[in-house]
């Protein structure tokens, strides 16, 4: 990814809603709220800074995986490119800054998540660890004995 890459860490303000264009492409838009928190040295109380809201746009498989995985309030990390859209409203030209996401994931500092394969052709899923030994069995095996994972059409994150 080249250019104006930005990383946003925050929480989803609403449940993301998946939409399909007439061409069949999936798109999802959502907003991430971010605010800086710090501990006041004098009072030892937590202080919330001013919130910033970022509009996020995701396409195709990323959009579909987000729809299946994330809900309002979930802590996320979004990496993408900032773009500026101009539009007319009440006779005035306005700007809207949005983040076109390249990748989105849960913020694992604040939430645990588990992965599962998404098989888009059959609309079913299987656990990511299928075909691999359990952790206890792994201790007795050499790294060469572990079968490599096969590439799935996409991954989704469930929290």
Per-residue pLDDT of the chain (159 residues; tens, 9 = 90+): 566 899 999 999 999 999 999 999 999 999 999 988 888 899 999 898 888 899 999 999 999 999 999 999 999 999 999 998 898 999 999 888 899 999 999 998 888 888 777 776 644 444 444 434 444 444 444 444 444 444 444 445 444
Distance CA 99, CA 95 (A): 13
Q: Where are the domains of the chain?
A: 1-110, 113-159
Is residue 83 within 8 A of residue 96, CB to CB? The reply is: no
Distance CA 26, CA 28 (A): 7
Q: What is the pTM of this model?
A: 0.65
Distance CA 108, CA 101 (A): 19
Q: What CATH architecture applies to the domain 1-110?
A: Beta Barrel (2.40)
């Amino acid at each position: 990814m080249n250019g104006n890459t930005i990383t946003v860490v925050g929480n989803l303000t609403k449940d993301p809603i998946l939409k399909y264009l007439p061409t069949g492409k999936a798109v999802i838009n959502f907003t991430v709220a971010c605010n800086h928190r710090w501990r006041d040295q004098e009072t030892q109380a937590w202080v919330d800074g001013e919130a910033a809201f970022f509009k996020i746009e995701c396409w195709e498989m990323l959009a579909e995986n987000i729809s299946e995985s994330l809900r309002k309030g979930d802590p996320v990390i979004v990496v993408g490119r900032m773009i500026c859209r101009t539009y007319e409203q009440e006779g005035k030209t306005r700007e809207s800054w949005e983040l076109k996401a390249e990748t989105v994931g849960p913020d694992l500092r604040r939430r645990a998540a588990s992965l599962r394969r998404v098989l888009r052709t059959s609309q079913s899923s299987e656990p990511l660890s299928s075909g691999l030994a359990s952790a206890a069995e792994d201790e007795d095996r050499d790294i060469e004995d572990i079968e490599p994972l096969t590439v799935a059409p996409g991954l989704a994150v469930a929290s």
